[in-house]
Homo-oligomer: A and B are copies of this chain.
Amino acid sequence: MRASPRGMTRPTSGFLLRPIARVAGGFSASSASIMSQTTTTYAKRTLSTTQPKCLSLDNINQNIRGAKYAVRGELAVKAEEYRRRLADGDKSLPFDSVIFANIGNPQQLDQKPITFFRQVLSLVENPLLLENQDALKNSFGYKQDVIDRAQTLLANVQSVGAYSHSQGAPGIRESVAKFIEERDGFSANSQDLFLTAGASSGVSTLLNVICNDADAGVLVPIPQYPLYTATLALLNAKCVPYLLEEEKAWGTNVAAITQSVKEAKAAGTNLRAVVVINPGNPTGASLTADDIKKVIDVAAEEQLVIMADEVYQTNVFEGEFVSFKKRLRQLQQEYPGTYDAVELVSFHSTSKGMVGECGHRGGYFELVGFDPQVQEQIYKLVSIGLCPPVVAQCLLETMVNPPRPGEPSYELYEQEYNGIRDGLHKRALALYDAFQRMEGVECQKPQGAMYLFPTIHLPAKAIEAAEAEGRAADEFYCLKMLDATGVCAVPGSGFGQKEGTFHFRTTFLAPGTDWVERIVKFHTEFLNQYR
């Protein structure tokens, strides 16, 4: 009954990243891992038929095939396998626990959710609980402000089971606007806010709008969170990398950006946007107000949309977080007219910070200086997906509008929030100290986010051994580390790095510090073996 296989469809342009001359390892990151679950090995299953199918690897959307995302690699699979073996009682491994330091997923690593948030969410999920407030208070310790908040949210959304406005419930957007105003000291308009299912979906939306053809290019910092390169690949647009300055605490180097702009233009790229991740992922860097101004200057000069990924804005240990919006508004006041046309989008999330509610998929983006007609198209685009998860919208509201001093839930909230913050800082410093003690390892002092991204100077013999296995040297190192310690980190090649340098990224989310000592011991042994 089947017709003979049709002629193969002409694939679209295939691999989409421009070759990056100065960046080694690219974004292939075959062994890197952002997520730590078991992966399904489809490819190993055999086809049940020899008849031709419509879809094959060669005739699906080749942009998808070309996209790289460091998720399903060897390291994560191996780590999950080790976890299972330990759970099954296997005593043959040289460690007694697997540490998933490869992904910013705090509640996987036993970070407790903040009580106020979850109490409110339990009530919006089951409003019938509100019919016995005495029992809520007496048997479960719910405070009046929890009950009040749940009632306010329910009045806003009617039911968390009903579709909301596609931009998010208006009342919740009002709360977010107030939060931004308090943070920056400049006004925010709820009409310019779009609630999202995590920051990732917002980034995808914006890149989708911005990338108008195959010549469109977006400046992306290197190292970067691979969402950006993957999404650009899906959109058949060009990633234009600019290197961050490791020696200056991973700051932005305006000369590097300018150079990338020049080269991209010479290559015929239509530059449209610049991505900044602040605080940085994977670098952990926190940008100064001056660094931020430099980026805004380039954007104003080159007429680029600024995409400010600010999901780690509360994860700042050194100095103070300055938002791009605040800095832009300051510049607009200081130099009237000069910065008026700048277009900025800022992303935030419920997944990071001390909230760490990754699984809820909440977040928002704020548009600043966008053409209203463009904004209307963005609205249409998001409306096709109907609305972000309403429970996550409620969670976002509690995040931006937490209990205030004097309110019944404040004390516990403050205690939990500070406990998480201090724990993160303490573990970051312990890790940093450990890296200081490790030969051939250099690490910037922890400034923010959830990661450290040390340079590792690897002996020539180790690099040769890696090459013999067809691996990047830092990938080889991370695999050996996992085998020896149970600690799963991500090699720098998963994020991009300067040619000839090697790094790995580790979160400092895992409880305790014994796993840090495992890394130190492994490192010494590794060096001794390959010296």
Contact = CB atoms under 8 A, between A and B. Distances in A.
Contact of A140 (B128, B191, B356): B128
Interface string A127-168: 111001001000110000000000000000111111111110
A385 B197 CA distance: 9
Interface string A183-208: 00000000100000110110010001
A374 interface: yes
B157 A359 contact: yes
A254 B318 CA distance: 68
Contacts of A216: 9
A43 B191 CA distance: 12
B208 A359 contact: no
Contacts of A108: 158-159, 162-163
A374 B64 CA distance: 10
Interface stretch (A32-40, A241-249, A284-292, A322-330): A32-40
Contacts of A6: 270, 303
Interface string A419-450: 00000000000000000000000000000000
A53 interface: yes
Nearest to A207: B61
A16 to B, nearest CB: 14
A373 B39 CA distance: 14
Among A122, A213, A359, find the residue whose CB has the most chain B CB atoms closer than 10 A: A359
A503 to B, nearest CB: 22
A123 B371 CA distance: 44
Interface residues of A, number: 134
A531 interface: no
Given A9-B215, A71-B383, A302 B374 contact: no
Nearest to A306: B54
Contacts of A121: 125-126
A510 to B, nearest CB: 13
A50 to B, nearest CB: 8
Interface string A2-23: 1101100111100000000000
A379 B40 CA distance: 9
A337 to B, nearest CB: 8
- Closest 4 CB pairs between A and B? A51-B341, A359-B390, A135-B139, A42-B372
Interface of A: 1-3, 5-6, 9-12, 35, 37-40, 42-49, 51-57, 59-62, 64-65, 67, 69, 71-72, 103, 105-108, 113, 115, 118-119, 121-123, 125-129, 132, 135, 139-140, 157-167, 170, 191, 197-198, 200-201, 204, 208-213, 215-216, 227, 230-231, 234, 270, 272-273, 297, 300-305, 337-341, 343, 356-361, 369-377, 379-381, 383-392
Given A38-B170, A59-B212, A64-B381, 19 more contacts: A12-B213, A37-B170, A42-B191, A48-B340, A51-B337, A51-B340, A54-B210, A56-B371, A61-B209, A71-B380, A71-B383, A107-B158, A107-B159, A107-B162, A118-B125, A119-B126, A122-B122, A132-B140, A201-B385
